[in-house]
Amino acid sequence: MKVSRSVKVKNSMGLHTRPATVIVKMLQNCKSNVHFTCKRETVNAKSLLSILMLAAQRNCRITITAEGIDADVVVEKLVVAFEAEFGERLA
């Protein structure tokens, strides 16, 4: 199964080390291949350095693509995490 969704980076500092680390930890046990595409560059979302190399700034659009048996669940978890700004949103 292949699932794709588009999300917007809402974090004020973009996808810096902290949210990238959260993403990698979320994907540690997933069975699907997961990729992020931003500005015509596609990277492995399970790699911290690859995510950081995207240099995705605030308001940047990222397409999440997952392919595998748990693709739908993985993409939904990532969408929720992007919406919640990876826990950085001020209360």
Which candidate in 5, 10, 16, 77 is catalytic?
16
Burial (0-12, 13-18, 19+ Cβ within 10 Å), 60: middle
Does the annotation count 16 as an active-site position? Answer: yes
Residue 61: how many other CB atoms lie within 10 Å: 12
**Active-site annotation, residues:** 16
